[in-house]
Amino acid sequence: MKRTLLSALVVVLCLGTLCHPASGQEAPNVNANCTDAKDFQTWSNCKVRQAVLAKINQRGNTKQTETPSVADSSTSLVDQSSASDLIGAALNLAGITDNPNGNENKSFSFTTSLYSVYSALSQRDPLDPSFYSAHRRLRSVYFTLGQEVPKDETVNINNRATIFGAKFLIWDMRDAAHPSNLKLLGRHYEKVGKFGNATRNLNVVIDNIGEYLSSSNIGPGPGASQAAKTDFLNRLEVPAEFQRMLGLLTVKDLDAINKIIEEGLGPEIELAEDTRKVIEQIRKAPQFSLAFQAKTRREGIDEYRAEAILDLGVSGRVNGTVNGSFIYMDSKVIGGDIRAAAASGQLQFQVTPEKKLTGRDPIYLYLAGEGKWMSGMDAIGKVQAKVKIPIVEGISLPISFTYATRADLIDEKEVRGQFGFTFDVARLVKTLGFK
Amino acid sequence: MPDFGNAGTRTVRTSKGAVIVDIDNQEFLSYEVKAQGAVPIFAFACKHRALLSANDLPNHPTSTYKWKWSKTDFGNDEPDKSLGDRYGVRFQFLTALKYTLLVRHHKQDGTVETIKDIDYASNDSSDWFQETFKVFIP
């Protein structure tokens, strides 16, 4: 057990090191001088961005891609109130356990929203903004279907369980198309009246850079004709030409360009700050959902769970989730039914900043606790620590360690380690460039 | 490495840095923005003022936005004949995933030249990109 836990810890540390800069500081996406930029447009944008220090905390962080917690082998002790907008898939491959045989239940599940089903049936692009905004309610309903393979399947294949469930987002203030968020975005538009003003301002900055280059020794020089300037500016958009001309710039030229940028940064910083506020406000908004999950077998005990889930943003990088559930275990043995109530809570900490270098998610640390009270049995308490490590865009590796005062039906204390992979199909599709 | 921001990709089919538009002889520029995601957020401006935002255009939020820039479309916003003017469209990825910008120069002789035909994509909400080009009046 110790060796397994140690191995898992090494994996966590290694992956953490590989995935993110050791300092935890935001890594620049392009080198400081933006020399990787392909043409004048990307270079000038990059130069301005490099000069803006604001750092934005973005992307929704409660889209659940793991197998729901009703599966014994789920790495998630607490369910969250929303799932991926399109299709999410989760695979729990193996457990790290005290069990000397090393066996644990394995599970696989798909979660999809009614929205994605409807868009497929109506053959509409789910990412069409008008369709997306018009069918917000359909993103309030999610379905899950999966299977759990028991650790002793070789003994009895009939113990394999089917997992199915549904989740209803009753209160979803985090949907971008929610009226309150549309109002917020409307204010964002006006703000940088502001947004347009930032655009105007950046036109001035980029134009001043263009004029500087045009007047410098790489351009047609001061007082050049419209045709000569047009030709020069067009050549700046050809990657090979631009790279050649960039190589000819002197330190003095670069200093002058940096000065032009610095002089025009005010509206950019203001816009970046407003964007950050909008994102934070949406991410911290509450979500409340009701869920039903079931695990049925040909033989053995079927399990049904009704659950209420509340997500609340606590602070910038901390998200809180509270679950309350009722569980009914339907035994084939007369008088063997079990009823239980459970309450759990989880704090999600975003350890590393939002993705900055490679498009991967940040590392998340979760601390969770659960209490379970079953008819005719002693209460069970569980605490869990979990780390979720991004592997590539759309794929994460969650590793969890759980301590339970006793296993569900066996009167003994249990320590269990678990790892698996989670896939956000929507993001994978996006990453792979499919429409 | 992203092309822009934290996770942006920019796919260029056509990109000119400057164009001479004879607005006194009915030449004009047409703009088309296609968007994917929840709510597109973009703005169009010259060096002197903000000209329009996505929410100024019909049916917002929608998948396709179109507008025209000619001598009369934006009032007194006429480029200085000697200095020209720079026009830009800024795309924010706060609640959108992908944009396509198509800018065409409609000439006096009826021909149409593509100035910009570019895709921008990012799933990082904080990303943005501003595509610009210079316009000269003969």
Contact status of A41 with chain B (Cβ, < 8 Å): yes
pLDDT band (50, 70, 90) for residue A380: confident
Number of separate domains in chain A: 2
H or E stretch at A54: none
- Residue A4 falls within a domain, yes or no? no
Q: What is the dihedral of CA A319, A320, A326, A329, to 10 degrees?
A: 60
Residue A169 CB-density burial (10 A; 0-12 exposed, 13-18 middle, 19+ buried): buried
Name the burial class of residue A124, with classes exposed (0-12), middle (13-18) and buried (19+) by CB atoms within 10 angstroms of its CB. middle
Interchain pair A41, B15: CB under 8 A: yes
Q: Provide the pairing of β-strand A318-330 with B18-20.
A: unpaired
ipTM of the complex: 0.96
Q: Please tell me the least confidently modeled range out of A302-311, A329-338, B24-33.
A: A329-338
Tokens linked to B30 = 């047409």
* pTM for this entry: 0.72
How far apart (Å, rounded) are the C-alpha atoms in residues A301 and A299?
A: 7
Q: What is the pLDDT of residues A188-206, one digit of tens each?
A: 777 655 566 889 999 999 9
- The mean pLDDT of chain A is 74
Structural domain for A202, as ranges: 31-58+183-280
Is B92's CB within 8 Å of A427's CB?
Answer: no
Contact A315, A349 (CB under 8 A): no
Question: Looking at the structure, do residues A393 and A417 belong to the same domain, yes or no?
Answer: yes
Distance from CA of A282 to the nearest CA of B (A): 11
Residues A162 and A299 in one domain: yes
* A288 closest CA partner among A132, A81, A31, A148: A81
Mean pLDDT, rounded, for A269-288: 81
Residues 41-80 of B with CB under 8 A from A: 41, 43-55, 59, 61-63
Task: Tell me: pLDDT of A360 over 60.
Answer: no
**B129 domain residue, yes or no:** yes
Of the candidates A356, A361, A301, A354, which has an alpha carbon nearest to the alpha carbon of residue A331? A301
Domain boundary among A280, A306, A331: A280
Measured in angstroms, the CA of B99 and the nearest CA of chain A are apart by 11
Q: Across the interface, which of A128, A175, A232 has its CB nearest the CB of B36?
A: A128
Using a CB–CB cutoff of 8 Å, tell me whether A63 touches chain B: no
Same domain, A241 and A194: yes
Query: Is the residue at B69 inside a domain?
Result: yes
Residue A54 zone, left/alpha/beta (φ > 0; ψ -120 to 50; rest): beta
Q: Which of residues 239-278 of A touch B (CB under 8 A)?
A: 272, 275-276, 278
Q: DSSP states of B56-124 as a string?
A: GSTTSS-SEEEEEE-TTTTTT---BTTTBEEEEEEEE-SSEEEEEEEEEEE-TTS-EEEEEEEEEE---
Torsion region of A26: left, alpha or beta (phi above 0 gives left; psi -120 to 50 gives alpha): beta
Q: How confident is the model at residue A357 (pLDDT cuts 50, 70, 90)?
A: very low
Same domain, A292 and A262: no
Asked whether the beta carbons of residue B124 and residue A197 sit closer than 8 angstroms, the reply is no
Cβ of B59 and A207 within 8 Å?
Answer: no
pLDDT exceeds cutoff 50 at B17 = yes
> What pLDDT does residue A105 have?
63
pLDDT attached to residue A152: 61
In the predicted model, is pLDDT for residue A15 greater than 80? Answer: no
Give the separation between CA A47 and CA A37, rounded to whole angstroms: 10
User: A with B: how many residue pairs have Cβ under 8 Å apart?
Assistant: 202
Residues A38 and A93 grouped into a single domain: no
Are residues A148 and A289 located together in one domain of the fold? yes
Model pLDDT, residue A420? 61
Q: How confident is the model at residue A281 (pLDDT cuts 50, 70, 90)?
A: confident
Chosen domain end from A227, A260, A280:
A280
Contact at CB, A127 and B37, closer than 8 angstroms = yes
Which CATH number covers residue B43? Answer: 2.60.60
CB contact under 8 A, B95 and A237: no
Average pLDDT (A151-168) is 76
What is the predicted pLDDT for the residue at A52? 76
Chain A residues close to B125, C-beta within 8 Å: 56, 58-59, 275, 279
